[in-house]
Structure 1
Amino acid sequence: MTVLGLRGRQWMIVAFAVACCYLITTGISLTGAWTTLNRDPTNAELQLAANKEVARRWQAWPAGRIFPEQVSYRPETGQSEYATRTGIVPDIACAQAVDEEIATTIGRHGCRAVLRATYVDQLQGVVVTVGVVAFADPWKADKAYKELPGSQGPDGQGGVRPALHAAAFPGTASARFNDEARQDRTIDRGGPYVVLTTSGQADGRPAAALKKARPGAPFALAPQVGHAIARSLAAKSLPDCDEPEWEC
């Protein structure tokens, strides 16, 4: 046998060995991929999927689900009543929904949108505009929440400011509610959402006309409505990885 022939056989053996290695590696990769695709998700993966689903709700949920037509609250009398939605604001821009001071704070922490809707109490004497401020994650929402002004009633000097902008809807009990009529504000948080409210009287009475600060009782429904909406948005659902809205 010539040296050339021997070298040719050696190269064939080497090529065969390399091909076998490729086949084995490919088989291992395919087996690993099949195992990954067909195994049950881990707890960490389920939690991640749940957090992603919550963070997308401001986009994925219908507006009527974020802001239910009616929200239960409990006045001082102790008997449950219902606040009724009068309208939902189509604009979701962050800066247009709040006073400038609040816009600066939420913008610094990555505000993605502000969704607003207005409710009236069961007697249609008190109006509440609710604003859902969406952030990328709970940590950014928490930082903004801690920097924003807290709950406050009228200051006797022209109303409540800075606050969420009032949203009036013509032809409803909230038709006269504007920024000058804001008499109360509250703040709450749920997951990646900060929920603001601003309240006033349905007759549009300017807060500047008040001679002294009013107690918070007339607007007690505001924090309850805000809390109910925040709790609904932040409640985690059990992931169903077979459904398209989940990313497991």
Structure 2
Amino acid sequence: MVSFGRPEVYDADARPLPLGRRLRSRTGAAAACVVLGLGLIGGAVTGSLLAGDSDASRDRDTFAAAGDLWHSVPVNRLFPPTIDGTGAGPGGSDRTWTRIAVAPDSGCGKALDPLLRKALAPVGCARLLRATYTDATQSFVTTVGLLFTDADSQGMRSLAQRFESDSLGRRTDLMPRPYAAKNTAAADFGDDQRASWTVHVLTDAPVVTYSVSGWADGRTVDNPQAAADAMAEDATTAPAQAGLGHEAKGLADRIERALRKHVTSASGQPS
């Protein structure tokens, strides 16, 4: 039988070190590495938790600031007198909308169909602001609304998920109502004249944005179509062919963008 001895370990002067000193040296070095590693991991976890708290606080501040905009931002900034819709029309054509009426701020009572009001009931209705616009040719009219809710962020997320999963934004019995102002191009813009619409539940603000469009001549519409469907390339309905889906979606998108800018300004944080 052949046996091998333990390898020698030498000091700085090339002299063998006793086995005990070698083991103690290695054990001490390993312990130091463990302590250092735990310290680094602990610091990283603490930093991550602090960053998470900061992000959550910023989100809460932004959400709260958005809920106050209905009474802190002038109507001309929420609903500008003129809105440019570069590339917002069919085929990327440009649009320009001119505001022709602003409804008095109100609750949701008569401004929404009963079924839509029921669908939005879980988030409440603190205030509803509406304005009606017409296009440059005054061929179309579109009402856009900002519904400020009483909900928290979780409530808004739940409602947004329900609208998405149940396709509530495409149901014709959940169309928003227009605001028909007397002595304007929208004077005959009633429920029977609704042609296309969109409803968007925001999750980073207690707001539901919507719009509904129709012809300015007061013609009735037998088959209204949600904007998302009317904007499809193969859509052949009258609202789709006239570009009324683009009218509703384009105007609602720009009002929503302006709202987000006001949220950023009010909270001092990105929205």
Query: Relative to 1, partners in 2 of residues 1:87 and 1:145: Cα closer, same or farther, differing over 3 Å?
Result: farther
* Other structure's SS at 1:222 match: helix
Deviations 1:85-134 (A, max 9, x none): 11111042112211001111212222212211111111111111111111
Bigger CA radius of gyration? 2
What is the 5 A alignment of 1:220-231? Answer: 220-231=246-257
Deviates more, 1:140-149 or 1:168-177: 140-149
Question: For residue 238 of structure 2, what is the aligned residue in structure 1?
Answer: 214
Cα distance in 2 for partners of 1:178, 1:238 equals 36
Deviations 1:136-176 (A, max 9, x none): 34433333334442146xxxxxxx43211111122221111
Q: Of 107, 113, 119, which aligns to 2:133?
A: 119
Please tell me whether the aligned partners of residues 97 and 165 of structure 1 are also in contact (alpha carbons under 8 angstroms): yes
The alignment covers a number of residue pairs equal to 193
Please tell me whether the aligned partners of residues 145 and 194 of structure 1 are also in contact (alpha carbons under 8 angstroms): no
Deviations 1:55-98 (A, max 9, x none): 21122112221111122222125342211111111042112211
Query: Relative to 1, partners in 2 of residues 1:104 and 1:170: Cα closer, same or farther, differing over 3 Å?
Result: same
Please tell me whether the aligned partners of residues 169 and 198 of structure 2 are also in contact (alpha carbons under 8 angstroms): yes
- Structure 1 gaps of 5+ residues are 1-41, 153-159
* Other structure's SS at 1:96 match: coil
Cα distance in 2 for partners of 1:142, 1:225 equals 23
Please tell me whether the aligned partners of residues 188 and 227 of structure 1 are also in contact (alpha carbons under 8 angstroms): no
Please tell me whether the aligned partners of residues 117 and 130 of structure 1 are also in contact (alpha carbons under 8 angstroms): yes
Question: For residue 18 of structure 1, what is the aligned residue in structure 2?
Answer: none
Question: For residue 76 of structure 1, what is the aligned residue in structure 2?
Answer: 90
Pick the structure with more helix per residue.
2
Cα distance in 2 for partners of 1:183, 1:240 equals 37
* Other structure's SS at 1:187 match: strand
Q: Of 260, 264, 268, which aligns to 1:237?
A: 264
* Other structure's SS at 1:224 match: helix
Question: For residue 94 of structure 1, what is the aligned residue in structure 2?
Answer: 108
- Structure 2 gaps of 5+ residues are 1-53, 225-235
Deviates more, 1:232-241 or 1:192-201: 232-241
> What is the percentage of aligned positions where both structures have the same residue?
26
Please tell me whether the aligned partners of residues 213 and 247 of structure 2 are also in contact (alpha carbons under 8 angstroms): no
Q: Which TM-score applies when normalising by structure 2?
A: 0.62
- Root-mean-square deviation (CA, aligned residues, Å) is 2.7
Please tell me whether the aligned partners of residues 63 and 153 of structure 2 are also in contact (alpha carbons under 8 angstroms): no
